[in-house]
Chains A and B, each alone.
Chain A
Amino acid sequence: MQFLKRNIPVLIAFVMGIAMVCQYYIPSQASQDFGSDMNIWTEIIFAFALLIGVQSLIHNHTNKIRRKQVGYGFSWAVIISMIAMTIAGLIGGGVDNTKGMYFWMFQYLQVPMQATVFSILCFYIATAAYRAFRAKTPEATMLLIAAAIAMLGRVPVGTELTDWIPLGTFWANLRMEIMTDWLLNIPNTAGFRAVMFGVGLGIISTSLRIIFGIERTYMGGGD
C-alpha cells in the first residue's frame, strides 16, 4: 500500500520531471510531439477533475440548504443558475451560437455581473492607496512621493505643471514625465528584476525538490 501510495507517485514525478526537462532542450519533432501529448493528457485529466469539482459544488450547496446555514439563499441561486445554464447550453448550443439562450445569458447576465465585481476594485484601490500613502515612516514618505510623481507624470494635468521647464537642459530632468519615466525604468525595473531572479531560482529549487522526491507534501504525505 505504501509502495502504491508513496513510491509510485514519486517515481512518476521523477520520470516525468526529467522527461520534461529533456524535452525543453530537444527541439526534434518526436520531442515536440511528446510535449503536446502531455498537454493533451493534462486536458483530459482536467475534464475528469471538473466532474469532481461540480460534484463538490453541488454537495456543498445542497448541504447548506438542507442545514439552512447562514446565507443558504445564495446556495439556491447557485444551483438554479447552474441548472439553467446547463439546460440553455444543451438546448441552444454554447457561446458560439450567438442566437442561443446560453449566449444571451452569458453575454447579458454573467459578463455584466463579472464586470460589476471587477469595477469594485476602483473603490478598493482608493482605500488601499489611502492606507499606503500615510507618511508615517521615511520609507512610506518616499513611497508617497514616488507614487505622486508617477501618477502626475502619466496624466496631462501633471505634465502641464512642469511644462515650462525647457527641454535639452539639465533642469529638464525635473519635468514630471521625465521623472516618471526614470522612476519606472530604473529603480522600479531594477526592483522587479531582483524579485524575478529570486522567483526563478525558487521555482528551480522547488522543482528539483519535487523531481527528486524530497518535497512530498503536495501528494498528501508530509515529508
Chain B
Amino acid sequence: MIPLSWYLFVAAALFSIGLFGVLARRNAVAILMGVELMLNAVNINLVAFWRYRTPNQPIGMAWAVFVLTVAAAEAAVGLALIISIYRNRDSVVAEEMDMLKN
C-alpha cells in the first residue's frame, strides 16, 4: 500500500515546478500553464486526503471538482486577456506589459 505522504510529496513537487514556471517564464501563456500545474497539484492533495481520510464523505472530491471549475474559468478569462493584450500591444511577454509603470 502506498502511504499518503508519497502522494503529498508528488503534489508538493508538482506545485513547486508550477511555481517556478509562474515566476520565471517570460511568456504570459507559459505563466498560465504554470498556474494550471499548481492547481493540479492542489487537486492531487484534495483527492488523496479524501481517499485516505474520509472515503465515506465526498467532500474532497467535491472540492476537487470546484477547483476544476475555477481552473476552467481562469483559463478562459486569462487567455482572453492575453489575446486582447496581444492585439493591442503586439506582445505576450509579461515584462513588456508595463504601461502603468511611471
Do A and B come from the same complex?
no
